[in-house]
Amino acid sequence: MKLGLCSWAYNRTFASGKWDLEKLLHVCADELKIGGVDIIDVHFKSTDVDYLLKIKKLATDLQITISAVSPGNSFGKDNPKDEAAEIENIKKWTDIAYTLGASNLRIFAGWAPKEKHERLWPKVVNSIKACADYSAKKGITLAIESHNGGGYLPTSIETFKLLKDVNSPWVKLNVDTGNFQDKDMYEALRKAMPYATHMHCKIHKLSKDGQELEFDFDKIFTILKSANYRGFFNVEYEGKEDEIEYVPKSFDMVRQFMKKYDMI
């Protein structure tokens, strides 16, 4: 298994203007000493090719793999023009991922009022199919994330149904260890592992001595070990404490579990 960072872990630091993507890449290499990064769309200063190539070159020089690029999107719109715009946005970010050399594009199914889900579901499916047809030409896998904010994929049941309905080898999962809203989130995680092309390691509540208080990492690592997961496991700290202090603590904790379960 390969250890990386989801740039959202430092989102408040980005929003404050203290850091930019270049700074983040240096922190990954020099301080966190990790080999991969998943970059959220809002953390790019620009999508101009010259800027993207600058980021790609810096990541290469620092021996950092850009394991995924993560745009925000929401399929299943009532208005056909809005739905078409969502598809075009994902195609644009597919091109960006291709330029950066990322193998995965993290996407969402989307959000809509629950009473509209059944009616709009076919739109979600057809839109993801269209995006997959495009991403296949670029060699980019679409990694769908079941999001803890609800939407079309609150549980593994809807998530697996979407994979079945889309039925594309270019559509898999970005499995977030804290997002499934199933009664047994660990069983949902276990069932999702065969479809994982990329992962987020969700951390919500970290104690001062570096212990996660919300999620059971022994259960999580038992599942990872059993699944023989070898992809990127990217820390996504979402706690309320100072990111600059607590993201490194998060990595210390994860490394302890990697060592415990012989996954280094």
pLDDT, tens only, 65-81: 999 999 999 999 999 99
Read off the CATH number of the domain in which 126 is found.
3.20.20.150
Question: Given this model, what pLDDT does residue 226 score?
Answer: 98
Question: Given this model, what pLDDT does residue 233 score?
Answer: 98
Question: Given this model, what pLDDT does residue 147 score?
Answer: 83
**pTM recorded for the entire structure:** 0.97
Question: In total, how many domains does the chain have?
Answer: 1
Q: Which domain holds residue 228?
A: 2-260
**If DSSP states are collapsed to H, E and C, what string results for the chain?**
CEEEEEHHHHHHHHHCCCCCHHHHHHHHHHHHCCCEEEEEHHHCCCCCHHHHHHHHHHHHHCCCEEEEEECCCCCCCCCHHHHHHHHHHHHHHHHHHHHHCCCEEEECCCCCCHHHHHHHHHHHHHHHHHHHHHHHHHCCEEEECCCCCCCCCCCHHHHHHHHHHHCCCCEEEEEECCCCCCCCHHHHHHHHHHHEEEEEEEECCECCCCCECCCCHHHHHHHHHHHCCCCEEEEEECCCCCHHHHHHHHHHHHHHHHHHCCCC
Question: Given this model, what pLDDT does residue 149 score?
Answer: 73
Question: Given this model, what pLDDT does residue 68 score?
Answer: 98
pLDDT tens for 4-23 read 999 999 999 999 999 999 99
Residue 115 near residue 153, CB atoms below 8 Å: no
List, for the chain, all residue ranges whose pLDDT scores fall below the cut of 50: none
